[in-house]
Every structure is written in C-alpha cells, then in structure tokens.
Structure 1
Amino acid sequence: MDDGIMSVRRKKESSMVKAVMMAREGVVDGVVSCGSTGAFYTSAMLFLKRIEGVEKSCLMVMMPTYNGKGMAMLDVGANAENTAQQLYDFAIMGNIYAKNIRGIAKPRVALLNIGTESKKGDEAHQQAFQLLEQSDRLHFVGNVEGRDIISGDYDVVVTDGFSGNIALKTCEGVAATLMKMIKESMMSSLKGKLGALLAKSSLYSLKEKFDYKSVGGALMMGFEKAVVKAHGASDAKAFSNAMELAYQMVKLDVVGQMKEGLSQK
C-alpha cells in the first residue's frame, strides 16, 4: 500500500500486474483487487485499452439511499482532479449504467457541488454544470450538496475523484459511527436491551444497507475489460461480493453497453 504508482513498472511479477496482463491478453474477462488504488489504476491505464471516447476512466460505486433503491456515484477516487469535459463524460457513463444495467428509464443526474445554485463551485464545476444542463442525452436535475446525496432523489451523482472519495468515506464513517452509538445506547439499560432484542432484524437490515462489505467494490469505468477495485479493508465477504460484481459486469456486458452509449456522444 505504501508503494508509489511507478512501482507498477518495477514489480512486473506482482499479482496485481500479472492479473491485469491476463486481462490484456484475453485470458480473463475481468480483474479484482483490494490493493493500492493508485497502483491498480496505473496498471489498468498502462496495460488495458480504454473505450473509445473516454478521456479519463473513473471509479463508480453504488451508494445506499433512504428509499432503498441506491445511487451511482462517480468518480470516487481514481482522479485527484477533473476537467468539466471529464465530469460530463462521467455523467454519460453513469447514465448509461443506470439506464441499461439498472433499468431506470430516465435517470436523474446531479453534480456534487458546494451549493445548488448554477454559479456555485470552481470554474470546472461551473463549466460542467453548463455542459450537463445543455445535454439532450441526460435528465440533469442540477447541483446536489453532500448532505442530500443519499436522500434517494438522485440516480447518478457526478463528482471529481477528490471530492467523491471524501464523500464516500465520510458516509461510510458516519454510518459505522451511528450504528456503534445505537448499539451502545441500547446496551446501556435493561429497557434498551429488550428493545434491541425486538428490533434485532431491523437493525441488522439497516447495518447491511450501509456496510461497504455488501457492496463489494467500485467499478473502474472506461476500460475494455471489467475492472473492480475492492475496499482496502476487505474481508472474505467483501472480496467475494467484489468478485460477484466483476462477474455481473461481464454477464451484463457493461463494457459493451458503454461502448455503444459513448459512440453516440
């Protein structure tokens, strides 16, 4: 995890590089790793072809929402910064995924920003807002603030990788802390313990919704192979779900759907 991204060139016998090379050579249809995000992304960039029309690939993860339907957020960490055009491309990829893979007829697409007004954010985000608003391929519903991303009012949230990674890990941390606080509060008294016993199934269901292990990992969008980045703290359950995610990418031909959708851009 401490290696720099250039270690990819020095460590050609590492399992990560060898797995990506197997995908390049067509031996496998997809690759999963819970190793260094930077190294994994660099390996994919160096050795795998990008889909035509994709300037920058990105990481997309399905986030839990209040209504239980989930929301796709991208980028959540592949890039430290992005241009307005790249954010627009992310929106197109997220929209294709929501429409063709999740079956949402008219996905609601939003741009993560520091305010809902069109003039909010830096120059790149203001320009991205204009590109998204003018697109006839998207149902763009405007800017969304961090507090509203899991409200269930959006199907796709577009963000630069720096902001997206912070938002993702903040949500993970808040969910874990809340569950810990609820548990401690209920175990502090006899009445609480009785209530916890009665609400056990509901609490487990809530925990499952916000547990990164159940998601498996993030899809590395934009490559001609199925690439999944599993959480760095993955246990057996999380890694198994990441493998299942990669399998579903291949089975549902996510890459083919992306190629077709991006060719119309």
Structure 2
Amino acid sequence: MYKLSIDAMSGDLGSSIVVEACEKFMQSHQDVELYVTGKAEELEKLQSNERIHIVDARDIVPMDAGIMSVRRKKDSSMVKAVTLANDGIVDGVVSCGSTGAFYTSAMLFLKRIEGVEKSCLMAVLPTYNQKGVALLDVGANAENTPEQLHDFAIMGHIYAKNIRGIASPKVALLNIGTENKKGDEVHQKAYQLLESENKIDFIGNIEGRDILKGDCDVIVTDGFSGNIALKTCEGAASILMKMIKESMMSSLSGKIGALFAKSSLYALKDQFDYKSVGGALMIGFEKAVVKAHGASDAKAFANAMDLAYQMVKLDVVTQMKEGLSEK
C-alpha cells in the first residue's frame, strides 16, 4: 500500500477543494492510504474512508514565512505533512501552499538524496509538438554550480524516462546561444560536464525562444534563469490567448469565425492549462515532494496527487539515487 501525506489547508481556496480531490483520487486508486493534515472539523467528509487518516493541524504557514518562522510552525498542516514523510510514515507529500515555505519545510525536515548538493523545482511546460518539456530548476535556487546543473540533468532524465515514458530523453542546457562556448563560466563548464556524461543524451545548448518548440525533453538551467523563463512563458501564453479572444470578438465576422473555431480554441486553452499538469516536483529529496498550484481546484490538486503517486509507485527516487551514485 502506497502512502501519501496531503496538506489540506495551505492553498488559496481552502480545504474544501482538497477534500473533493481526495474523494475523487481514492475512487481510482485502491492501493493508496492518505494522511490528510488540517483542521479535523473541515475534513469530516473523509473520515468514512478507512484508507484516509485525519491528522489534526490547527495552524498555517504564511506565504512570506522564513526559516525561523517555518521551524516554529510545528502544528501547521504543511509542516505536519512533511514531518510524516521524514518519520517514514508516508512515501510522498503534496501541498498547494507557498512555494518558498514548502521548499523551506522540505529543506528543514526532509533528507536530501546522498550526493545531491541542492534540490530543485521542476515544472513541465506545454510545447508546440504537444510532447511537453521538463524545465529545472524553476526557482528553488538563486544560483547554481556546474556540478549542480549536472545533477539536475540526471534527475530530469530519470523523471522523463520513468514518469513520462520517453525511452531516450533529449537533454539541453538553457543558454544565450547554441554554440558550446556561449554563456558565463558556470554554463561553459556545465556544458562540458553534460557533454561527457554518458548516462544522458545531451544535445547541447538551447535558447529561450526555443523552449516551447519541443525539440528536447529536459531543459536544465539555474533557478534564477529558470524562474524568469517559466513566468515569461506563462505570461506570454496568457496574453496571447487574451489577444486572440479580443481580436475575434472585435467584429461580427470574427465572432462568427470564433463559433466555428470554438473547439480548436478550447483545445489550445487546455493545452496551456496548469490544471492538467497538476504540480511541480521538488526533486533531490529522499521522498516524493509535489507542489500543486496555489489556486488549484479539485481537478488540479487530484492531478498533483497522482503525480506524487506515480513517483512513489515507480520508485523514481531510488532510480535517481542510482543515477547519481556513480558521478
């Protein structure tokens, strides 16, 4: 039986969407036990399921919580969910709380994989060819060393191979040009390390304008650049959809055309919808750690839970340990 801890209180929409997500998730996952942390009275609907355990937690970690604040929030739903993983009671953790607070909680209360200097945050972005691409780091670290980027590449490769089912994932390094001598010293050395790594299929540098093409399966970057790239892509997609809508609604002919293109437009919108992805992975820890979007509805949160479930079921953490053990 696989076991997950679920932080029910930290999201923007409260515990009700988590309760709905848990009910939906358990209907299709008969091999899972959940430990749901939050105010017991808000989780009453889950008590009838014998595979769901309610862990009463009366506090919430605030969005701007620092290290000392997180340490003091021992009775918060987030810290209790992470502590359950640290104590070996569960195999993975899901939360839609603040990214910074959740990452801090994981850093304080979870062990990192041996040999991993820094864990990172990985998100899967939609691409033109509809394959999707894993981008890491997207904001867990302000800066990274070449060796850390090398570790990210291996972990991203293992994720793409085992979770996304890509036989030989293509790995690229985000840089300011495609030539191997481009970028600062960190990126030039990272290029050399990745080029000599026989565990991955490294295809070289990739520029920001090519992130969403889908020419590769994993893109490695430092957390500062990765966060800017992620939010730029999200913003551009949002504005583009808005411009298309406004353009079509600006004339009668456009409105008639929109009626005929309705299904295609909805398909495009769904392709860039974070709800279908579920969440981002905090990789490099001994347990599966999934960060759901702060504004997740029940569908998005259930997908985040499924991502954690797949990580645990396929034992991806162990495979990451093995992949990093011979570096």
Normalising by structure 1, report the TM-score: 0.95
Matched, 1:48 2:110: yes
Q: Paired residue for 1:213?
A: 275
Q: Paired residue for 1:61?
A: 123
- Alpha-carbon distance in 2 for matches of 1:58, 1:231: 16
- Alpha-carbon distance in 2 for matches of 1:169, 1:234: 17
- Alpha-carbon distance in 1 for matches of 2:281, 2:139: 11
Matched, 1:259 2:321: yes
Cα distance, 1:240 vs structure 2: 2.5
Cα distance, 1:106 vs structure 2: 2.1
Matched, 1:82 2:144: yes
Percent identical: 82
Q: Which has the higher contact order (CA 8 A, sep 6+)?
A: 1
**More divergent stretch after superposition (59-68 vs 114-123):** 114-123
Matched, 1:4 2:63: no
Matched, 1:32 2:94: yes
Q: Paired residue for 2:56?
A: none
Matched, 1:176 2:238: yes
Q: Where does structure 2 lack aligned partners over 5 or more consecutive residues? A: 1-62
Cα distance, 1:145 vs structure 2: 0.7
Report the aligned-residue RMSD.
1.4
Q: Paired residue for 1:155?
A: 217
Runs of 4 or more off by more than 4 Å in structure 1?
none
Normalising by structure 2, report the TM-score: 0.78
Query: In structure 2, what residue type is equivalent to 1:160?
Result: D
Cα distance, 1:195 vs structure 2: 1.3
Matched, 1:236 2:298: yes
- Residue 112 of structure 1 contacts residue 146 of structure 1 at CA under 8 Å; is this kept in 2? yes
Q: SS of the counterpart of 2:179? A: coil
Q: Where does structure 1 lack aligned partners over 5 or more consecutive residues? A: none
Cα distance, 1:16 vs structure 2: 0.8
Which residue of 166, 170, 189 maps to 2:251?
A: 189
Query: In structure 2, what residue type is equivalent to 1:205?
Result: A
Cα distance, 1:47 vs structure 2: 1.2
- Residue 172 of structure 1 contacts residue 211 of structure 1 at CA under 8 Å; is this kept in 2? no
Query: In structure 2, what residue type is equivalent to 1:185?
Result: S
Query: In structure 2, what residue type is equivalent to 1:71?
Result: V
- Alpha-carbon distance in 2 for matches of 1:33, 1:130: 36
Q: SS of the counterpart of 1:99? A: helix
Query: In structure 2, what residue type is equivalent to 1:2?
Result: D
Q: How does 1:130-141 map to 2 (within 5 A)?
A: 130-141=192-203
**More divergent stretch after superposition (67-76 vs 130-139):** 130-139
Greater gyration radius: 2
